[in-house]
Amino acid sequence: MSSVELQHISKRFPTVAALSDVSFTVRDHEFFVLLGPTGAGKTTTLRIIAALLKQDEGSVLFDGEAVDGLTPADRDVAFVFQQYSLYPTMTVYDNLAFPLRSPMRKTPEPEIKERVQHAAEILRITHLLDRKTARLSGGEMQRVSIGRAIVRQPRIFLMDEPLSNLDAKLRESLRVELQHMQKTQGNTTLFVTHDQIEALTMADRIAVLDHGRIIQIGAPADIYDRPATTFVATLVGTPRINLFTAARENGTYFVANSDLHLPMPGDRAMPQQVQVGLRPEDVKITPGGRFTGVVALTEPLGVETILHIRSGQQTLLSILPGITPLRRDDPVRFDILHERLHFFDVDGKRV
Amino acid sequence: MFVRAGVRTPTHNNCDNRAACGVMTEVRTDPTIAERVAASTPEPLARRVRGLSDRAIAWAFIGPTVGLLLAINIFPLLWTVYLSFTNYRANRPNEEILWIGTRNYERVLTDPDIWAAMQATAHFVVWTIVLQTVLGFGLAWLIDRKFRGSAFWTTIILIPMMLSSAVVGNFWKFLYQPQIGLFNYVVSFFTGIDPSSFDMIGSVTLAPWAIVIVDTWMWTPYVMLICLAGLRSIPDYIYEAAEVDRASPWRQFWSITLPMALPFIMLAVLFRGIENFKMFDLVVQLTGGGPGSITELTSINLKREAFEKWRTGYSSALAVILFVAVFGLANIYVKALNRVKQR
Ligand SMILES: Nc1ncnc2c1ncn2[C@@H]1O[C@H](COP(=O)(O)OP(=O)(O)O)[C@@H](O)[C@H]1O
Ligand SMILES: [Mg+2]
């Protein structure tokens, strides 16, 4: 396993700048997640690391050495493709064995068999080994595609949204399985996803990518608790963070069209206009709460209930444990955890 | 949809002719095809159509086609089978037609000329298929590299295929001329052999190859086109996966390119096989079956028997034998093709 470093990578396509000055390091044995919406440039980043695409500027380093001149075969990475990329005329077994049968690796056939079996067991596709890949379901193809990567011992695993086509149950169990595998074997993994839950649950560190630019890099807790921009704040966390524009008024921030007067942090200079972010779990429903509102909607999820509270013409979300007896139009009182308020300037930058 | 007055549209609640009118049934049966046809047809015709059952309407639609098919395909086929058991001669229509059992078949199968023609056909079919497949696939593979100007070269390569075979036969006759022909000149340029020392069309040993060469020149582009479609159907990302999996270009070709293009190649072989089994015009133009009857393919032989010697019964038997053979082979082949496609 290796560490992988990207230095000032830029890539332009004729119509779009896919990556602009992207730099980050995936440390040895680290599970690194690249999180971003569709079109952010995640796949492009992986393809550049695998040498399937040449960057316009910048440099890729494996273990501190530039590998820009090396071919995909020489870089020795394992790639789980977004569109599976299975070999359609071969059986699942042969697909999994394909990378091991490369003359550059010279694995003896019994060992191939053992490794394929092992991978198949982890991914629960043992019963599919004799089938041709063309007629598998999307989820099955996805698993075979993951299997083809994990039979190998590459310098880094590159995974392009490998769980996106699985149903919820399987996704959850594979998430755990992949994490377990990565931790026990210490694989360096660069995992790409647009799903913030995957990112938060699996990552050692997360890089948030948007329009080809790195917005923030940090541990999941950093990303969640100290989002660098409103984009990051809204990207992570469900239900979504409450975000209001507010203006200074008598030493507080007043949210327009509402009854919300929020305290100003006293420890730094604050602008006239701000955007205030407030996570739903930091809106506490209590009988003696400072703020008042009216229940607009309840979304009972079993383990918790999402409460939509109207305050003036604004609505904010809150989370209650379990299922609440509250109904639409019931009045509620709530408190806001002051130290958990996020302030951003009008351009969305954290202040 | 345009609905004429007086024609009931299927969406109306026709209370007058529904038994369960008072009870609004939730389950509405779909209007029959006849009703729908009537609704969009001028009234005089609609009146006739409305009463028909779905089955009758279906027959009305496919009837003409089936009739035509029976008249110009199935009937002549059956008639040929009948004639093959008789001594009928089409140039003597007034003579009595005698049923002679399988004697025509015996004669055909013991006729050395027929076997010679079969051999000539086999030689022609096998070699044209082999050469055209190898060359066609090779060209397709090169064109698929998408080098600069590949579209231009594709167009150039396709030209022979667009010519009429009569024209091709005719000008290759000139190209094959020993003294003035370009072909002989080119061969002599590369090998140093005297151009007038050999005659592609006149020589017994060279003539079978002469027709193979011309057919290959003409139809390799066609095979190339089909193979190109096959190669283009292989998505790039499969090659990318193979590259990451450290497969050499050689291994990529054998384990990805060829297996995935195989159904297309087999299809091209089928088309060329059927086409060349019944080859007629090009060879007639080029060699006329000669010298002697060295390049007399079965189709040419059949035409001679039927329309020069007027042995109608005999040639019908030959035609039936050829039909069964081609039909059987094609069927087996298509089964194999389907198996390959379903992998
Ligand atoms: N081969 C290409 N040619 C042109 N534009 C491309 C190509 N590949 C990707 N792009 C563009 O680059 C941007 C980033 O794409 P991609 O890396 O696939 O995003 P993601 O994987 O995050 O969804 C998108 O706007 C996409 O349209
Ligand atoms: Mg992508």
Smallest Cα–Cα separation from B210: which of B202, B220, B200?
B200
Compute the nearest-CA separation of A350 from chain B (Å): 40
Q: Is residue A276 part of a domain?
A: yes
Residue A103 with chain B: CB contacts under 8 Å:
248, 251
- Residue from the list A52, A81, A105 with its beta carbon closest to the beta carbon of B246: A105
Please tell me the total count of domains within chain A: 2
C-alpha distances in Å from residue A267, one per residue of A106, A341, B58: 63, 14, 84
Q: Is residue A235 part of a domain?
A: no
Are residues B69 and B128 part of one domain?
A: no
State if residue A16 touches ligand 1 by the CB under 6 angstroms criterion: yes
- Closest-CA residue, ligand 1 atom 8, reads A44
Averaged over A54-79, what is the pLDDT?
93
Are residues B176 and B39 part of one domain?
A: no
Q: Is residue A142 part of a domain?
A: yes
Please tell me the total count of domains within chain B: 2
Q: What percent of chain B has pLDDT over 70?
A: 91
Are residues B116 and B74 part of one domain?
A: no
Are residues B184 and B49 part of one domain?
A: no
Residue A107 belongs to what domain range?
4-229
- Closest-CA residue, ligand 1 atom 7, reads A13
pLDDT of residue B17 exceeding 70? no
Are residues B141 and B38 part of one domain?
A: no
Compute the nearest-CA separation of B241 from chain A (Å): 6
Q: Is residue A234 part of a domain?
A: no
CA of A18 to the centre of ligand 1 (A): 6
Averaged over B252-263, what is the pLDDT?
93
Q: Is residue B102 part of a domain?
A: no
Are residues A323 and A197 part of one domain?
A: no
Angle, alpha carbons B47-B49-B51 (nearest 5°): 85
State if residue A99 touches ligand 1 by the CB under 6 angstroms criterion: no
Torsion angles phi and psi, residue A15, rounded to 5: -105, -10
Q: Is residue B9 part of a domain?
A: no
pLDDT reported for residue A5: 96
pLDDT of residue A244 exceeding 90? yes
Are residues B193 and B257 part of one domain?
A: yes
Compute the nearest-CA separation of A85 from chain B (Å): 5
Q: What share of chain A is helix, strand, coil (3-state, %, to 5)?
A: 30, 35, 35
pLDDT of residue B12 exceeding 70? no
pLDDT of residue A229 exceeding 90? yes
Tell if the pTM clears 0.90, that is, is over it. Answer: no
CA of A39 to the centre of ligand 2 (A): 7
Residue with structure tokens 């038997």?
B317
Confidence of residue A35 (pLDDT cuts 50, 70, 90): very high
Q: Is residue A351 part of a domain?
A: no
pLDDT reported for residue B7: 41
Domain boundary among A194, A229, A264: A229
- CATH code of residue B308: 1.10.3720.10
pLDDT reported for residue A51: 94
The Cα A288–Cα A269 span in angstroms is 31
- Closest-CA residue, ligand 1 atom 18, reads A43
CB atoms within 10 A of CB B124: 22
Are residues B163 and B258 part of one domain?
A: yes
Are residues B294 and B165 part of one domain?
A: yes
Q: Is residue B4 part of a domain?
A: no
Are residues A76 and A220 part of one domain?
A: yes
Are residues B237 and B176 part of one domain?
A: yes
Name the residue in chain B with its Cα closest to that of A145: B241
Domain boundary among A177, A198, A229: A229
Are residues A252 and A277 part of one domain?
A: yes
Q: Is residue B105 part of a domain?
A: no
- CATH code of residue A324: 2.40.50.140
Are residues A255 and A212 part of one domain?
A: no
State if residue A36 touches ligand 1 by the CB under 6 angstroms criterion: yes
A–B: how many Cβ contacts below 8 A?
A: 64
Residue B306 belongs to what domain range?
110-342
Averaged over A104-128, what is the pLDDT?
89
Name the residue in chain B with its Cα closest to that of A158: B244
Are residues A248 and A137 part of one domain?
A: no
pLDDT reported for residue A307: 94
Averaged over B147-162, what is the pLDDT?
89
| Sheet with strand A291-300: strands edge to edge | A283-285, A331-336, A291-300, A304-311, A314-321
Confidence of residue A264 (pLDDT cuts 50, 70, 90): confident
B242–A87 CB contact, under 8 Å: yes
- Residue from the list A89, A98, A134 with its beta carbon closest to the beta carbon of B245: A98
- Residue from the list B246, B248, B256 with its beta carbon closest to the beta carbon of A87: B256
Averaged over A137-150, what is the pLDDT?
90
Confidence of residue A21 (pLDDT cuts 50, 70, 90): very high
pLDDT reported for residue B4: 41
Are residues B194 and B79 part of one domain?
A: no
Are residues B57 and B135 part of one domain?
A: no
- Residue from the list B235, B241, B255 with its beta carbon closest to the beta carbon of A79: B241
Averaged over A245-262, what is the pLDDT?
88
- CATH code of residue A58: 3.40.50.300
pLDDT of residue B248 exceeding 60? yes
pLDDT reported for residue B57: 82
Among the listed ranges A138-142, A160-164, A332-336, which one has the minimum average pLDDT value?
A: A138-142
pLDDT of residue B9 exceeding 50? no
pLDDT reported for residue A100: 92
Domain boundary among A187, A206, A229: A229
The Cα A65–Cα A4 span in angstroms is 9
Q: Is B26 exposed, middle or buried (0-12, 13-18, 19+ CB in 10 A)?
A: exposed
